[in-house]
Amino acid sequence: MPPTLCLTREVESLREQIAALTLFSKVFADASGLRSALQTALAVAMRAVGASYCLLECSFSPGEDAFQSVQLGTEPSGDALRAVQELAQAAREARRLVRQDNIIAVPLRVQDQGFGTMALLVAEDFPEASVKIIETVAQQVAAIIYTADLLRRERQAGDRLRELDKMRSDFVAMVSHELRTPLTCIKGFVDTLLRSDIEWSEAEKSEFLGSIKISSEQALRVVEDLLSVQQAGQGKVAIFPETIDLGHLVAESCRRAQSTASNHTILWTVPAALPIVRADFVRLSQVMDNLLHNAIKYSPLGGEVHVRVRGMLGEIEVAVMGHGVGIPPAQLGRVFDQFYRIDNSLSRKTEGLGLGLAIVRTIVLLHGGRVWAESSPGSGSTFYFTIPN
């Protein structure tokens, strides 16, 4: 073949390769999906070097061990396919281009971050110009994956920020509502008592003051729950164990709850002789108050709440049973999460921040105990906790 014709064909080949890279850049800019972009890029690379098969093994985030394969062309069989796969792995481990007969494999790297390997199979040895093209293509493919990873992380960060902002807004709204209700009640009764144009009887004054007391306790519960959650998040929840009679503590909590729950009946069973435990009396009282408050809140008016205490091997078990609508099985595992509220018709009518059960779990675990819940939709729920003796 005349030298002039040979040179002309080589120039034409290089022009085609440059045109392929130009098209490749457009693919990089315009592709809507990562896999679609990669498949198009591989097709461009194969055309540029006359490859019959291309294997791309990549992770869509740097450092991931799980690789995904993108293949294009006629898949070789047997030893030929194994040779391509082995050379791809060798290039990935060596972090450099590797050649063997009619196979070339090049790692995909951006800023010293590895994303996988690209390997191509051709009918004859690669000319040097084709090697340069493949190296350039590999850089562009790595750039596609790198950019897609950055965009994915950016979207995730944006989604997380929006989620946190919504949580913050919801939290502020919930706290405002939880405090506004009792404070509005307190203000209303105080304004009523202060009216100079009406002479209230002692019975009426006592009734108003009783309502003020209940509302102030509601507001105080909200503040205490918030403080407890903050302390738990900072690892500052401390317990001060002392020798206590857990049965006596449970009975006192039940009596206290009954005094403010005129529309419900609280029944408790406490054995006469229970082992003495070492525990924080104040914190366990908080556990009982939260469980009883939760059971009362979700039980229908006139319903009963049952509390049972029993000695077990090495521990004392307390069960608080309400008779409300119950908890759907899919939500049972999340009832002890902070700010989580059961999604059912009754819970949407009840107030609360969704902190009480999270506080229960924190305190019980600090005592070395266990806490769990059992429920059947329509039959109520039972919350258990244990304290070692």
The per-residue pLDDT for 98 is 85
Going by C-alpha positions, the residue among 69, 60, 32, 23 that lies closest to residue 146 is: 60
Amino acid identity at 93 = E
Residue 364's pLDDT band, with cuts at 50, 70 and 90, is: very high
CA atoms within a 13 Å half-sphere pointing along the CA-CB vector of 260: 18
* CATH 3.10.20.30 for the 242-388 domain, yes or no: no
The per-residue pLDDT for 347 is 46
pLDDT for 349 beyond 60: no
Name the residue with higher pLDDT: 135 or 67: 135
pTM (predicted TM-score): 0.53
Q: For residue range 166-180, what is the model confidence (pLDDT) as tens digits? A: 767 766 776 776 677
Q: For residue range 12-54, what is the model confidence (pLDDT) as tens digits? A: 554 565 455 555 555 554 444 677 777 777 887 788 778 888 8
Measured in degrees and rounded to the nearest 5, phi and psi for residue 144 equal -60, -50
Q: For residue range 243-284, what is the model confidence (pLDDT) as tens digits? A: 999 999 999 889 888 887 888 999 999 998 888 899 988 889
Q: Which CATH class is domain 166-233?
A: mainly alpha
The DSSP annotation for 359-389 comes to HHHHHHHHTT--EEEEE-TTS-EEEEEEEE-
Question: What one-character DSSP code corresponds to residue 15?
Answer: H
User: What does the alpha-carbon distance between residue 144 and residue 42 come to, in Å, rounded to a whole number?
Assistant: 12
Given the candidates 3.30.365.10, 3.30.450.40, 2.40.50.140, 1.20.200.10, the CATH classification of the domain at 3-158 is 3.30.450.40
Residue 116 CB neighbours (<10 A): 25
Tokens of 195: 């009216």
Question: What one-character DSSP code corresponds to residue 127?
Answer: P
pLDDT for 314 beyond 70: yes
pLDDT for 159 beyond 70: yes
pLDDT for 97 beyond 90: no
Domain boundaries, the chain: 3-158, 166-233, 242-388
CB contact set of 176 (below 8 Å; sequence gap of 6+): none
Residue 57 CB neighbours (<10 A): 21
Contact 270, 247 (CB under 8 A): yes
User: What does the alpha-carbon distance between residue 65 and residue 204 come to, in Å, rounded to a whole number?
Assistant: 73
The per-residue pLDDT for 318 is 95
- Measured between its terminal Cα atoms, the distance across the chain in Å is 97
pLDDT for 339 beyond 80: no
